[in-house]
Structure 1
Amino acid sequence: MDTKELVLKTLKESEEPLKAAEIAEKANVDKKEVDKAIKALKKEDLIESPKRCYYTAK
Protein backbone atom coordinates (compact mmCIF):
# COMPACT_ATOMS: atom_id res chain seq x y z
CA MET A 1 0.00 0.00 0.00
CA ASP A 2 1.50 3.34 -0.99
CA THR A 3 1.41 6.53 1.08
CA LYS A 4 -1.54 8.01 -0.79
CA GLU A 5 -3.66 4.93 -0.10
CA LEU A 6 -2.60 4.93 3.57
CA VAL A 7 -3.51 8.61 3.97
CA LEU A 8 -6.90 8.12 2.31
CA LYS A 9 -7.61 5.02 4.42
CA THR A 10 -6.66 6.87 7.63
CA LEU A 11 -8.95 9.78 6.73
CA LYS A 12 -11.85 7.47 5.88
CA GLU A 13 -11.49 5.69 9.23
CA SER A 14 -11.40 8.95 11.19
CA GLU A 15 -14.67 10.45 12.41
CA GLU A 16 -13.25 13.98 12.47
CA PRO A 17 -10.90 15.98 10.23
CA LEU A 18 -7.19 15.41 10.87
CA LYS A 19 -4.05 17.51 10.53
CA ALA A 20 -1.14 16.21 8.45
CA ALA A 21 0.89 15.43 11.60
CA GLU A 22 -2.00 13.40 13.05
CA ILE A 23 -2.37 11.47 9.79
CA ALA A 24 1.39 10.77 9.79
CA GLU A 25 1.22 9.50 13.37
CA LYS A 26 -1.81 7.25 12.80
CA ALA A 27 -0.54 5.86 9.48
CA ASN A 28 3.02 5.57 10.81
CA VAL A 29 4.40 7.50 7.81
CA ASP A 30 6.83 10.43 7.57
CA LYS A 31 5.02 13.80 7.60
CA LYS A 32 6.77 14.95 4.41
CA GLU A 33 5.34 11.92 2.61
CA VAL A 34 1.89 12.69 4.04
CA ASP A 35 2.15 16.28 2.77
CA LYS A 36 2.93 15.01 -0.75
CA ALA A 37 0.05 12.51 -0.59
CA ILE A 38 -2.38 15.20 0.61
CA LYS A 39 -1.40 17.46 -2.29
CA ALA A 40 -1.96 14.63 -4.79
CA LEU A 41 -5.26 13.54 -3.20
CA LYS A 42 -6.57 17.12 -3.24
CA LYS A 43 -5.67 17.37 -6.93
CA GLU A 44 -7.61 14.13 -7.56
CA ASP A 45 -10.54 15.55 -5.57
CA LEU A 46 -10.58 12.60 -3.13
CA ILE A 47 -10.14 14.67 0.03
CA GLU A 48 -11.26 18.10 1.18
CA SER A 49 -10.29 20.63 3.80
CA PRO A 50 -13.25 21.68 5.97
CA LYS A 51 -11.01 24.13 7.82
CA ARG A 52 -7.45 25.32 7.38
CA CYS A 53 -4.82 22.56 7.81
CA TYR A 54 -7.43 19.86 8.51
CA TYR A 55 -8.38 17.19 6.00
CA THR A 56 -11.17 14.69 5.53
CA ALA A 57 -12.08 12.11 2.89
CA LYS A 58 -14.95 12.97 0.54
Structure 2
Amino acid sequence: MTQRTTMQVTEKRKQKLERAAIEISYRTGKPIKWTELANKLFDEKLDELKKDMINERGITK
Protein backbone atom coordinates (compact mmCIF):
# COMPACT_ATOMS: atom_id res chain seq x y z
CA MET A 1 0.00 0.00 0.00
CA THR A 2 1.30 3.45 -0.91
CA GLN A 3 1.72 5.82 1.99
CA ARG A 4 0.06 9.21 1.47
CA THR A 5 0.11 12.67 2.99
CA THR A 6 -1.82 15.87 2.44
CA MET A 7 -0.86 19.24 1.03
CA GLN A 8 -2.78 22.47 1.28
CA VAL A 9 -3.68 23.97 -2.10
CA THR A 10 -5.29 27.38 -2.38
CA GLU A 11 -8.75 27.46 -3.91
CA LYS A 12 -7.39 29.49 -6.83
CA ARG A 13 -4.77 26.84 -7.66
CA LYS A 14 -7.31 24.05 -7.29
CA GLN A 15 -9.61 25.85 -9.71
CA LYS A 16 -6.79 26.16 -12.26
CA LEU A 17 -6.12 22.44 -11.99
CA GLU A 18 -9.84 21.63 -12.22
CA ARG A 19 -10.27 23.79 -15.33
CA ALA A 20 -7.26 22.18 -16.97
CA ALA A 21 -8.58 18.71 -16.11
CA ILE A 22 -11.98 19.59 -17.56
CA GLU A 23 -10.38 20.81 -20.78
CA ILE A 24 -8.22 17.68 -21.06
CA SER A 25 -11.28 15.49 -20.41
CA TYR A 26 -13.36 17.38 -22.98
CA ARG A 27 -10.70 17.34 -25.70
CA THR A 28 -9.66 13.71 -25.22
CA GLY A 29 -13.04 12.24 -24.34
CA LYS A 30 -11.45 10.57 -21.31
CA PRO A 31 -12.05 11.77 -17.76
CA ILE A 32 -9.15 13.03 -15.64
CA LYS A 33 -9.29 14.26 -12.05
CA TRP A 34 -7.54 17.43 -10.97
CA THR A 35 -5.55 15.37 -8.45
CA GLU A 36 -4.28 13.10 -11.24
CA LEU A 37 -3.10 16.19 -13.08
CA ALA A 38 -1.38 17.54 -9.95
CA ASN A 39 0.40 14.21 -9.40
CA LYS A 40 1.57 14.19 -13.02
CA LEU A 41 3.00 17.69 -12.53
CA PHE A 42 4.97 16.45 -9.52
CA ASP A 43 6.16 13.30 -11.26
CA GLU A 44 7.22 14.86 -14.56
CA LYS A 45 8.21 18.46 -13.79
CA LEU A 46 9.84 18.42 -10.36
CA ASP A 47 13.42 17.93 -11.57
CA GLU A 48 13.06 20.72 -14.15
CA LEU A 49 11.62 23.08 -11.54
CA LYS A 50 14.36 22.18 -9.06
CA LYS A 51 17.05 23.13 -11.58
CA ASP A 52 15.27 26.39 -12.43
CA MET A 53 14.93 27.41 -8.79
CA ILE A 54 18.58 26.62 -8.03
CA ASN A 55 19.64 28.81 -10.96
CA GLU A 56 17.26 31.62 -9.97
CA ARG A 57 18.43 31.65 -6.36
CA GLY A 58 22.09 31.17 -7.15
CA ILE A 59 24.22 28.15 -6.39
CA THR A 60 25.96 28.39 -3.02
CA LYS A 61 27.23 24.81 -2.55
* TM-score band, normalised by shorter chain: 0.3 to 0.5
Q: Which has the higher helix share?
A: 2
Larger Cα-atom Rg: 2
> Normalised by the size of structure 1, how large is the TM-score?
0.32
Which structure ranks higher in relative contact order (CA pairs < 8 Å, sequence separation ≥ 6)? 1
> Normalised by the size of structure 2, how large is the TM-score?
0.31
